[in-house]
Amino acid sequence: MLGSSVLGGNSGSPTNNRVFVYEVTGLKQNETNDKNNYQFRSSSSVFVSVPYSRMNEEMQRIGKMGGTIVNIQSLEAFKQQEQNNSPENNKAANHKKQKADRDDQN
């Protein structure tokens, strides 16, 4: 049927492949997340990958657990940021800067 591809299944919509990363702070152990097999610290950021279709549900879940979403970005942007912040890239950038500084002095 014509409407079935719009209402369900993998319709090839660009939203089906979109994933976002939430940076969450302030999570603390409570009765909602006591069911997990692990404990987590409340002092650090946690990164949670969320498909576009579940963004609202995940926001509500994080709020119920006492967390605060401090940043939302696409998975692609998150990966790019992680790559830019990697130690290898920092070394290369520092080396280029030092070389440019030496060239400026000459």
Distance, in Å, from the CA atom of 67 to the CA atom of 61, rounded to the nearest integer, reads 9
Q: Where are the domains of the chain?
A: 17-105
The answer to whether residue 3 scores a pLDDT higher than 50 is no
What CATH number should be reported for the domain whose range is 17-105? 3.30.1490.170
Query: Does residue 76 contact residue 20 with C-beta atoms inside 8 Å?
Result: no
CA nearest neighbour of 66 among 41, 86, 84, 85: 41
Q: What is the pLDDT of residues 7-49, one digit of tens each?
A: 444 555 666 679 999 999 987 766 666 666 655 555 578 889 9
Q: What is the pLDDT of residues 34-92, one digit of tens each?
A: 666 655 555 578 889 999 999 999 999 999 888 899 999 999 999 998 888 877 766 66
Residue 21: the pLDDT is: 94
Distance, in Å, from the CA atom of 74 to the CA atom of 46, rounded to the nearest integer, reads 15
Distance, in Å, from the CA atom of 3 to the CA atom of 82, rounded to the nearest integer, reads 40
What's this model's pTM, rounded to 2 decimal places?
Answer: 0.58
